[in-house]
């Protein structure tokens, strides 16, 4: 029994001794140690004793080493003040220099002042005059101005901090970033000095050296790969402005995509294209918008031309004659005095021409125009004339429901301001228009009621002809080259005489504004 007691007693002494050793070691780790100084003097300040150290002073605490020219060492408080060529090393990753330092060995907070250079070895340098380095948190925090520099970027702000383990620098207030490609301005952003990725946390403006700018609320930018992912962004090139809810920018390939309420504005053409998805290949000079896509182009008279299609494509080129806008599949056109349909469309800005293909049709002031292909010439941003080629047909309905018709191989419709002035028919011209007469139905001293009646139908066949219009209605017709004309009285008109071959009244197909404008333009 005594041997058992002796055994447990010896074990208790062993564990107690081990506890004391561990406690002493932990206590030692908390203390700042003076490793070296050329000269040491005892002194008292405010009743407290301290060591005044001069020349090649070195302190240590765990993996931290502090070098300086001179220092005040308060052993009882475990604190020191260092002056002149202050140098701190933290393991093999952090190196700091400054002109002055106050260090608390208990909290492990170093307050460095004047000409501070904080270095995350191999990654970045942080310059400031006011830096607090918290060794417990592994965080360096600056205020009253700082600058972070690496091989790629320079970032300046009023306030910020550097999270050492994850290599994240956070910047706040008056943030300015620069590199060889751009300058950015923001209020808040973060930067990973290892991956060289910028994280945008607030509205940021980026101005590229190539003339491209971007404005967005959040997102990321890889400064090495030059890839951006921007939320609610708007970016601008010399020729375009683009806006979307999500934007992906590849500045190496010069390839940009957006989705979610897209708006792409051409500065030169002064038009904006809207949609759900877009891409812009700057090297090829091609931009494409699709998904509820439509275009809005403001004209000189203040009217707006709207155009929708499954896909809208804009092609840039140094040669103005090669610049164009393409629309294909289910093209619809709407403006106040003109509507249209086609399978596809091309707009050539150099010639100010709109080309409509595959069953094109236009409506203007009650006139319906169809042909195998149609070209619309714009002059001073207004419609000047319309060229119809192959099976050209113009139909209008008069006030009492009759259909006036013009047919020919080729037609050219001329406009005066916004109104049709006259139509020229070239080849195989045919025309039907009704002669109307206004008669008094009731006439008294105080009331007159008039009635419009059809007197007959003018039928004309002529190789070439000119039809003049007044207020959008046929006024008179001129014939050229062997005309054949007759007036058929209304009572002699047969059903088959009332329309030319190929007649098709398609008013129900005329697009409404709400069918072309998919959402509110901005």
Q: Which residues pair with 171 in a beta bridge?
A: 160, 189
> Which top CATH class is 32-144?
mainly beta
Burial 278-305 (b: 16+ CB within 10 A, else e): bbbbbeebebbbbeebbbbbebeeeebb
CB 375 within 8 A of CB 351: no
Q: Establish how many alpha carbons lie within 13 A of residue 223's alpha carbon, considering only the half-sphere containing its beta carbon.
A: 27
Q: How far apart are CA 314 and CA 322, in angstroms?
A: 11
CB 466 within 8 A of CB 423: yes
CA dist list (Å): 430 to 325, 392, 403, 462, 486 = 35, 10, 14, 6, 12
Q: Calculate the CA dihedral of residues 437, 438, 439, 445 and round it to 10 degrees.
A: -160
**Can you tell me which residue has the tokens 């299609």?**
309
The neighbour count for residue 458, using CB atoms within 10 Å, is 17
CB 490 within 8 A of CB 459: no
Q: Which residues pair with 286 in a beta bridge?
A: 281, 315
Query: Would you give the DSSP letter of residue 318?
Result: S
Long-range contacts of 51-54 (CB under 8 A, 24+ apart): 51/75
> 178: which residues sit within 8 A by CB, 6+ positions away?
153, 154, 184
pLDDT on residue 443? 67
Q: How far apart are CA 9 and CA 466, in angstroms?
A: 127
> 47: which residues sit within 8 A by CB, 6+ positions away?
none
pLDDT on residue 168? 92
> 273: which residues sit within 8 A by CB, 6+ positions away?
262, 263, 264, 265, 266, 287, 289, 293, 294, 295, 312, 314
| Residue ranges with strand state E in 93-167 | 94-104, 109-120, 124-134, 139-142, 146-149, 154-157, 159-163
Q: How far apart are CA 127 and CA 386, in angstroms?
A: 68
**Can you tell me which residue has the tokens 């790629």?**
152
pLDDT on residue 96? 95
Which of 218, 223, 177, 178 lies closest to 196 in space, CA to CA?
223
Q: In the chain, what are the domain boundaries?
A: 32-144
pLDDT on residue 5? 53
In 31-130, alpha helices (H): none
CB 162 within 8 A of CB 148: yes
Q: How far apart are CA 257 and CA 437, in angstroms?
A: 62
Q: How far apart are CA 142 and CA 158, in angstroms?
A: 8
pLDDT on residue 100? 95
Q: How far apart are CA 220 and CA 205, in angstroms?
A: 13
pLDDT on residue 342? 95
Q: In the chain, what is the straight-line distance between the N-terminal and C-terminal CA atoms, in Å?
A: 96
What mean pLDDT, rounded, does the chain reach? 86
CB 255 within 8 A of CB 282: yes
pLDDT on residue 275? 93
Tokens of 511: 């697009």
CB 96 within 8 A of CB 112: yes
Q: How far apart are CA 43 and CA 73, in angstroms?
A: 10
pTM for the predicted model, two decimal places: 0.73
Tokens of 510: 């005329």
Question: Mean pLDDT in runs of 10 for the chain (522 residues)?
Answer: 48 42 46 94 88 95 94 95 94 91 95 95 91 93 92 92 92 92 90 91 86 84 88 80 87 88 82 90 90 86 86 86 89 90 90 89 89 88 87 89 91 85 89 82 65 85 86 76 83 88 93 89 70
């Amino acid at each position: 029994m005594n041997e058992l007691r002796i055994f447990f007693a010896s074990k208790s002494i062993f564990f107690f001794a081990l506890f004391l050793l561990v406690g002493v070691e932990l206590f030692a780790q908390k203390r700042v140690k003076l490793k070296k100084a050329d000269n040491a003097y005892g002194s008292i300040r405010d009743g407290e004793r301290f060591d005044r150290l001069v020349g090649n002073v070195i302190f240590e605490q765990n993996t931290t080493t502090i070098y300086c020219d001179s220092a005040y060492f308060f052993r009882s408080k475990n604190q020191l003040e260092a002056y002149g060529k202050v140098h701190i090393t933290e393991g093999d990753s952090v190196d700091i220099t400054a002109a002055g330092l106050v260090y608390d060995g208990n909290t492990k907070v170093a307050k460095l002042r004047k000409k501070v250079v904080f270095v995350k070895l191999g990654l970045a340098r942080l310059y400031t005059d006011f830096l607090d380095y918290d060794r417990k948190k592994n965080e360096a925090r600056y205020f009253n101005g700082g600058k972070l520099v690496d091989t790629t970027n320079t970032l300046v702000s009023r306030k910020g901090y550097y999270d050492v383990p994850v290599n994240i620098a956070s910047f706040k207030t008056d943030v300015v970033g620069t590199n060889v490609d751009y300058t950015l301005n923001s209020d808040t952003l973060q930067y990973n000095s290892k991956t060289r990725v910028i994280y945008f946390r607030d509205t940021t403006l980026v101005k590229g050296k190539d003339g491209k700018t971007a404005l967005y609320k959040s997102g990321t930018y890889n400064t090495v790969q030059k890839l951006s992912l921007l939320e609610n962004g708007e970016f601008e090139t010399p020729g375009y402005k683009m806006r979307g809810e999500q934007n992906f920018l590849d500045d190496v390939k010069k390839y940009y995509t957006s989705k979610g309420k897209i708006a792409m504005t051409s500065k030169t053409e002064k038009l904006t294209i809207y949609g759900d998805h877009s891409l812009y290949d700057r090297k090829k000079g091609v931009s494409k918008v699709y998904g509820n896509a439509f275009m809005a182009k403001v004209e000189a008279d203040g009217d707006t031309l709207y155009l929708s299609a499954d896909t809208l494509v804009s092609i840039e080129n140094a040669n103005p004659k090669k610049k164009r806008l393409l629309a294909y599949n289910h093209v619809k056109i709407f403006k106040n005095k003109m509507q249209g349909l086609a399978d596809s469309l091309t707009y050539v800005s150099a010639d100010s021409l709109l080309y409509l293909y595959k069953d094109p049709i236009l409506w203007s002031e009650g006139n319906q125009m169809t042909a195998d292909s149609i070209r619309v010439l714009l002059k001073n941003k207004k419609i000047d004339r319309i060229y119809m080629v192959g099976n050209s047909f113009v139909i209008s309905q008069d006030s009492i429901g009759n259909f006036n018709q013009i047919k020919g191989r080729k037609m050219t419709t001329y406009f005066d301001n916004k109104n049709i002035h006259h139509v020229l028919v070239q080849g195989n011209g045919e025309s039907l228009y009704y002669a109307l007469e206004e008669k008094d139905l009731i006439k008294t001293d105080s009331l007159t009621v008039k009635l419009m009646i059809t007197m007959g139908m003018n039928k004309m066949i002529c190789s070439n002809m000119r039809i003049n219009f007044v207020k959008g209605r046929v006024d008179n017709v001129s014939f050229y080259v062997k005309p054949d004309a007759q007036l058929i009285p209304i009572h002699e008109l047969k059903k088959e005489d009332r329309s030319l071959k190929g007649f098709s009244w398609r008013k129900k197909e005329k697009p409404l504004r709400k069918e072309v404008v998919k959402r509110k333009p901005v």
